Chain A
């Protein structure tokens, strides 16, 4: 990529929103070569000004308030700016319009590619995708190798699904089908067109346990319904792709070891799988990842010992009954008025914020057995 930009003698690159270029840290690489990357999706532009990373795959600046955006803009323009979305949008239009017209190279991701016509497809609502693919002299599209669909007929199906799940529209405002550089007779369009396909672990998963995740359209529907994502936000995941699907993609791109903690950052509530338009069973694969983490012995040893012990207890009813009795003895100092409100050491992870029911004075099975004896 840097090579292409260098050969084009580029000094400024305009980009339309692309998670794929986030994935490969392209902006940093361009900067090292003295090429200024400019994000043109409004949300991406905002977080670029803030020197941050996207927190959502559809609405990257969803964590910013309009006041914070106004502050960023006034710092950039060195003049006061009103905290009004309409006004902020107008300013961004004027600022970015200049960049579109000046840039030497346009870099985009791709939502799809159509195999039999050799077409790269870009979906945007703002129109920056059209700008980036039309105005600069060179266009480079970067996409994961999994985004290819066979034909235009399939594409029509996916376009409708993507728009509906991402933003609730029947179709996003702009869908741009790019068939290559400017053609003979055309007034405008790039002179050069490059397509970069990313593998980074994707192809290895075609036959692997995470293969379903390759169908992901990056619509973000699973993020919007995820209780964990809604609490912690995108940045807390610490990788390019946030949310439950992000855990799977991170494992795919960076290996299972990179998600040994994240694999557990889900209550497995299944809301993601329910919302997913292409029916990716995310919880199933999270469990699969947990299994790999355990099997590869990269889980902490204390955890592995605990679960192995638990398993021993659960296959031996005598041990299980003993454990209940031991629990009753140990909880004695802490149980008050039928609840436990504080426990020592790591056991406090539950009781710090919630009460815990104590082990019953007599378990169901103990009572049941006693009643049977009393009245056979």
Chain B
């Protein structure tokens, strides 16, 4: 073990020996990331249909299943259909406030699904936490919202936080993510702008410990380079795009 001061002193000492050998310069960072993030949003408000189409192509290329619905009323029937096709009964969901509001859970319950909505905050005690984890581990479907949907790579970016447990998109064999045009971005560099903005100017979509990029279902090629899915994470990832706007 070394103290922090020793550690940095050693690095500085070594770097002094041969200055400027690392010619690589760092990427140009946005001056005012929040302003730039707003600008990206404004631009995309105009050309979101192209971005959505690009996202769909990439998302399907990484073996995601894409659905598009006209309004919030069509979301429950779509999820219901996914569930029926798989003989799935139990669904865990982020807290309603982080997905699409109370109505969706009610509609899904009315269709006969067992809906387990995660609490808006921490569990009261360890026992409660264990109970919720067991429910998640047993569930057939996990329903979440989406913070960013990246067209370039077909990636869903999910920030953890209160009411948005990370296990919802991880433990069930089928992950369903619901989003609208406000989540769309075009590229990884744009994601970088949002991450900088969330960090520097605060106001992230949630104040959790983890940001997850999800690009298709879990996969491995560790046995004879044969591609198989769902080794640890979900075997299927569905993205439902809602045209009307989830938050009114």
Are A170 and B58 in contact, CB atoms less than 8 angstroms apart?
yes
Report B-chain residues with C-beta under 8 Å of the C-beta of A62. 225
Q: Does A374 contact B (CB under 8 A)?
A: no
Q: Does B228 contact A (CB under 8 A)?
A: yes
Which one of B11, B21, B210 lies within 8 Å of A177 (CB-CB)?
B210
A281 to chain B minimum Cβ distance, whole angstroms, is 13
Stretch at the interface among A30-38, A126-134, A307-315, A351-359: A126-134
Interface residues of B in 43-84 (CB under 8 A from A): 58, 62
Stretch at the interface among B105-113, B115-123, B139-147, B238-246: B115-123
Interface residues of B in 218-240 (CB under 8 A from A): 218-226, 228, 230-234
Known: A169-B215, A173-B215. A127 touches B160 (CB 8 A): no
For the A-B complex, the count of residue pairs with Cβ-Cβ distances under 8 Å equals 228
Q: 1/0 contact trace for A146-185 toward B, CB 8 Å?
A: 0001111111110110000001011111111111111111
Are B192 and A156 in contact, CB atoms less than 8 angstroms apart?
yes
Are B223 and A153 in contact, CB atoms less than 8 angstroms apart?
no
- Specify the chain B residue showing the minimal Cβ separation from A89: B228
Q: Does B170 contact A (CB under 8 A)?
A: yes
Stretch at the interface among A201-209, A324-332, A365-373: A201-209
- Specify the chain B residue showing the minimal Cβ separation from A151: B29
Interface size on A, residues (CB 8 A): 78
Q: Does A268 contact B (CB under 8 A)?
A: no
Are A151 and B155 in contact, CB atoms less than 8 angstroms apart?
no
Report A-chain residues with C-beta under 8 Å of the C-beta of B161. 183, 185-186
B175 to chain A minimum Cβ distance, whole angstroms, is 10
Are A175 and B213 in contact, CB atoms less than 8 angstroms apart?
yes
Q: Does B180 contact A (CB under 8 A)?
A: no
Are A183 and B196 in contact, CB atoms less than 8 angstroms apart?
no
Please report the C-alpha to C-alpha distance between residue A215 and residue B21 in the assembled complex, in whole angstroms.
12
Report A-chain residues with C-beta under 8 Å of the C-beta of B231. 42, 89, 92-93, 126-128
Please report the C-alpha to C-alpha distance between residue A128 and residue B192 in the assembled complex, in whole angstroms.
24
Are A101 and B137 in contact, CB atoms less than 8 angstroms apart?
yes
Which one of B28, B137, B192, B224 lies within 8 Å of A85 (CB-CB)?
B224
Are A186 and B122 in contact, CB atoms less than 8 angstroms apart?
yes
Q: Does A253 contact B (CB under 8 A)?
A: no
Known: A126-B218, A184-B122. A156 touches B188 (CB 8 A): yes
Please report the C-alpha to C-alpha distance between residue A97 and residue B172 in the assembled complex, in whole angstroms.
11
Closest 9 pairs between A and B when the two form their complex, measured CB to CB:
A127-B233, A207-B17, A185-B162, A43-B222, A206-B14, A175-B213, A156-B192, A127-B232, A152-B195
26 contacts between A and B (CB under 8 A): A66-B223, A69-B223, A85-B228, A127-B218, A127-B232, A130-B212, A133-B210, A134-B166, A134-B210, A159-B188, A170-B152, A174-B218, A174-B233, A177-B212, A177-B213, A185-B122, A185-B207, A186-B160, A186-B165, A187-B118, A187-B121, A188-B133, A203-B7, A203-B11, A206-B15, A207-B18
Given contacts A126-B232, A187-B163, A207-B17, 11 further A-B contacts (CB under 8 A): A64-B223, A116-B199, A128-B232, A130-B212, A130-B233, A150-B26, A169-B215, A170-B153, A170-B154, A171-B153, A211-B18
Q: Give residues in B with beta carbon < 8 Å to A.
A: 2, 7, 10-11, 14-18, 21-22, 24, 26-30, 58, 62, 118-119, 121-123, 129, 132-133, 137, 152-155, 160-163, 165-167, 170, 188-189, 191-193, 195-196, 199, 207-226, 228, 230-234
